[in-house]
Amino acid sequence: MNHKCKMCGGALTPAGTEKIITCEYCGTKQTIPCPDSERIAGLYEKADGYRRNLEFDKALALYEEILNEDSTDAECYWLALLCEFGIEYVEEALGAKRIPTINRMQPVSVFDNANYKAALKYATEEQAVIYKAEAEEISAIQKGILEISKKEEPFDIFICYKEGDGQGRRTLDSVLATDIYELLTKEGYKVFFSRVTLDDKLGVAYEPYIYAALQSSKVMIAVGTKPEHYNAVWVRNEWSRYLALIKSGAKKVLIPAYKDMDPYALPEEFKHLQAVNLGELGYQQDLVRGIRKIIAPEIPKVPALDVAPLVNRMILFLEDKKWEEAERWADKILRENPGNIQAETGKLMAAMHVSDGYDYRVWTTYPPEKPVLEILEKGTEEEVKELKKSLSRQLPEWPERLYQDCKEKYEKAKFPEELTDCVEILRSLKGYRDSAKMCTHVKERMEELRKREEDEYNEMIKLSTSRIVSDVETALKLMKESKSSLLKSKDIARCEAHLKMVRAEETADRVKGPITVVVVAIIIIGFIVLMLLNS
């Protein structure tokens, strides 16, 4: 494998299978991957090229492919983390050192990132020292970005487009984006348009302002006139991050707006979205009308002292095991009332997929005199605080408990419905052990069970319509013992009715036989008597 320095891109020449090396060009001590096959080495090299070109999504997909084969590769987890944060190493002013910059700010601390935790778990002691030192640097930058972004006013709309053509000239995309910016600004919307919004930010990093705008904007308009413009590194960086927010549950809408190109040439990720053709007459009216439907007037905020309705809503989602919704409402409460103990506890419960007392009885650190939801809803402040402490202590161990629970269900499941929750849980454990591979196995097992369940159901129905009593009796017995979701009460009722009918037919056949013999005997005797009389 051709190793390259993460910081300066210089060629590295490791001796043997060492995992730590110092770059002879920039002097940086760093970790390197040690693939065990040519195929994995090829994936690493391809991913490395994408990462250096700042095509982080493409690189991340390849790292995930590697982890599907080896879930203990610490370096792969670390490189995946660099892609998640969009880490680019740039030279300091004096050229003495390469420092990380964040191009894809994440709201969660680097220390709480699943890939970071997995990297430390499988790292050697020497690797872990380097990972921790680099994470400290990333964390400091992350805090700086958050501090700046918190001071920014929220935006309604984010316009994503390619500004220059690489030869110092504006693109047509930029001109079209300017027209849209002016149109929406006149309509009273606050619009993030980098050409204008970042004009007074020369000489400073743009990421804090882009991050804040992506987080607050309810609508993104992705403007483009060529497929390659949509896939330009920084353009794709913006719209892919926005789509990730939507996928995570944020109520946002992305509107592709194109001109002079085939709509089928839009990025694959846009195929399910309603696009706007900027070459059609009246597109301005259509665009404004559509945005008005999305961005409704602001709902008055709930007073800080009256978050009870929001807490009740969060508790309902926890009760229904809708974890993402519960976490979203917990965040909303904390925005209105920072430090709210019920919201903080509810957020922990959502992260651990915990709601009722049954879930809670597996723990030993806090006596479950009351069901968890009852403590959250009606418990004293002290009880809720104790519950939060207990949850916090258990949280590091919880991914393993969820993983093992899914593994046990996978091994014991007899019906596909028993594995439905496992798919959701394993997806939420992204990066933990071989959860991605296990998720694939669970889906395959569900399909096998579904096919077997259908076959067994069809066999029961076939037996239940037989004209043989023993077959129908067998079908009825199987139906009453079955737990299949395909089987309905009406199927059992029909089987019972059919059984009565075939039993009656069998009884009639048994009676019919002797009667026939008697009738034939009487006829023969009568014939003999008649012959005797005639003689």
> Which domains are seen in the chain, by residue range?
3-144 (1.25.40.10), 157-294 (3.40.50.10140), 308-393 (no CATH)
pLDDT band of residue 300 (cuts 50, 70, 90) is: very low
pLDDT at 18: 75
- Token pair, residue 425, equals 């849980």
Side-chain-side CA neighbours of residue 362 (13 Å): 14
Q: Which residue bears the tokens 């976490």?
A: 327
Lowest mean pLDDT among 86-90, 345-349, 476-480, 528-532: 528-532
Residue 83: how many other CB atoms lie within 10 Å: 24
Q: Which residue bears the tokens 């920014």?
A: 152
433-453: per-residue pLDDT in tens? 888 888 899 999 999 999 998
pTM (2 d.p.): 0.50
- Token pair, residue 517, equals 């013999």
7-22: per-residue pLDDT in tens? 777 788 776 677 888 8
Lowest mean pLDDT among 103-107, 239-243, 401-405, 514-518: 514-518
Confidence check: pLDDT of 498 > 80: yes
- How much is the average pLDDT of 400-419? 87
pLDDT band of residue 120 (cuts 50, 70, 90) is: very high
CA-nearest of 454, 450, 458 to 415 is 450
102: left (phi over 0), alpha (psi -120 to 50) or beta: beta
Q: CA–CA distance from 311 to each of 32, 305, 379 (Å)?
A: 47, 12, 13
pLDDT at 82: 94
Confidence check: pLDDT of 268 > 60: yes
Confidence check: pLDDT of 486 > 80: yes
Question: For 361-434, where are the alpha helices, taking DSSP H only?
Answer: 372-378, 381-394, 398-412, 420-428
Mean pLDDT across the chain, nearest whole number?
Answer: 85
Q: What are phi and psi of 100, to 5 degrees?
A: -75, 145
Whether residue 14 contacts residue 21, with contact meaning beta carbons closer than 8 Å, is answered with yes
- How much is the average pLDDT of 292-301? 64
pLDDT at 147: 87
User: HEC profile for 204-264?
Assistant: CCCHHHHHHHHHHCCEEEEEECCHHHHCCHHHHHHHHHHHHHHHCCCCCEEEEEECCCCHH
pLDDT band of residue 307 (cuts 50, 70, 90) is: confident
Look at 11 and 40; give whichever has higher pLDDT: 40
194-248: per-residue pLDDT in tens? 999 888 776 567 889 999 999 999 999 999 999 999 999 999 999 999 999 999 8
DSSP 45-81: HHHHHHHHTT-HHHHHHHHHHHHHH-TT-HHHHHHHH
Side-chain-side CA neighbours of residue 480 (13 Å): 10
352-378: per-residue pLDDT in tens? 888 766 555 555 555 556 778 888 888
- How much is the average pLDDT of 249-273? 93
pLDDT band of residue 96 (cuts 50, 70, 90) is: low
Confidence check: pLDDT of 513 > 70: no
pLDDT at 192: 95
Whether residue 465 contacts residue 498, with contact meaning beta carbons closer than 8 Å, is answered with yes
pLDDT at 335: 82
Q: CA–CA distance from 351 to each of 94, 327, 401 (Å)?
A: 44, 8, 13
pLDDT at 28: 79
pLDDT at 368: 58
Lowest mean pLDDT among 46-50, 143-147, 369-373, 421-425: 369-373
Lowest mean pLDDT among 54-63, 302-311, 385-394, 465-474: 302-311
pLDDT band of residue 84 (cuts 50, 70, 90) is: very high
Confidence check: pLDDT of 92 > 70: no
- How much is the average pLDDT of 447-471? 91
Whether residue 216 contacts residue 200, with contact meaning beta carbons closer than 8 Å, is answered with no
pLDDT at 429: 75
The single-letter DSSP state of residue 168 is S
pLDDT at 515: 61
Radius of gyration of the chain (CA): 34
Confidence check: pLDDT of 253 > 70: yes
pLDDT at 336: 79
pLDDT at 168: 82
The single-letter DSSP state of residue 298 is P
Lowest mean pLDDT among 205-214, 422-431, 465-474: 422-431
pLDDT at 298: 46
Q: CA–CA distance from 133 to each of 142, 317, 490 (Å)?
A: 14, 39, 66
